[in-house]
C-alpha cells in the first residue's frame, strides 16, 4: 500500500494576508519550484483536501469561515500556517480587527515563518506537514482498528 502522504491535496485559504505570502504560495507551483513533484494538488474544495494552508492572521470576520473550512475537511488533516502573520498575527497583531495567528482559532501543526515566507520554506513546511499527515493517518487507522475490534468482542 502506498503511503498516505504521497498524495497531499492542499487547500489554500487567504486569511488577512497582505497577499505577499499568497504570491509565494502560488510561486511554489511554478516551473521553478513545482511542488506537484510531491503529488501536491492545489484544490479549492475542503472535502478533497488533506492539508489546509493558511496565509495571514485571523480576523473577527473570517474566524467562523476558517473554523467551517477546517470542519469540512475529512480526517486525517493537517494545518500549515504560512508567514509570520499566520503564525502570530505579525505586523497586524495589534490591529483592532485582528484576533491573532491561526492557532487562536484552529489547531496548527506546522508553522512556516518569514515575511513573506520564501517558496523554499513553504515547500519545507509542506514536507514537514507530510510527516504529520503520515503520523495522523497511522493513528486514525489504529483507532478505527481498535473500534472494529471492540465491536467484534
Q: What residues make contact with other proteins under the rule CB under 8 A?
A: 1-4, 6-7, 9, 30-31, 34, 36-39, 41-45, 47-48, 50, 72, 74-76, 137, 140-141
Q: How far is the CB of 90 from ligand SF4 (least distance, A)?
A: 5
Burial pattern 13-47, b for ≥16 Cβ within 10 A else e, equals bbbbbbeebbebbeebbeeebebeeeebebeeebe
Q: Which is nearer to ligand SF4, 120 or 147 (CB)?
A: 120
* Residue 147 contacts residue 107 (beta carbons within 8 Å): no
Q: How far is the CB of 123 from ligand SF4 (least distance, A)?
A: 16
**Alpha-carbon distance 143 to 131, whole Å?**
18
Q: How far is the CB of 81 from ligand SF4 (least distance, A)?
A: 10
Q: Which is nearer to ligand SF4, 58 or 133 (CB)?
A: 58
Binding site for ligand SF4 (CB under 6 A): 17-18, 20-21, 55-56, 83-85, 90-91, 115-116
Amino acid at each position: 500500500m502506498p503511503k498516505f502522504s504521497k498524495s497531499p491535496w492542499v487547500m489554500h485559504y487567504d486569511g488577512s494576508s497582505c497577499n505577499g505570502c499568497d504570491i509565494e504560495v502560488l510561486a511554489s507551483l511554478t516551473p521553478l519550484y513545482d511542488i506537484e513533484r510531491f503529488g501536491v494538488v492545489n484544490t479549492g474544495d475542503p472535502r478533497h483536501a488533506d492539508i489546509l494552508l493558511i496565509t495571514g492572521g485571523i480576523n473577527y470576520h473570517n474566524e467562523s469561515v476558517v473554523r467551517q473550512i477546517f470542519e469540512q475537511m475529512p480526517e486525517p488533516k493537517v494545518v500549515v500556517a504560512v508567514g509570520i502573520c499566520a503564525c502570530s498575527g505579525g505586523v497586524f497583531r495589534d490591529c483592532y480587527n485582528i484576533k491573532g495567528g491561526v492557532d487562536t482559532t484552529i489547531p496548527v501543526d506546522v508553522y512556516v515563518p518569514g515575511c513573506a515566507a520564501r517558496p523554499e520554506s513553504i515547500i519545507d513546511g509542506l514536507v514537514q506537514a507530510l510527516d504529520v499527515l503520515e503520523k495522523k493517518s497511522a493513528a486514525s487507522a489504529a483507532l478505527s482498528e481498535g473500534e472494529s475490534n471492540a465491536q467484534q468482542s
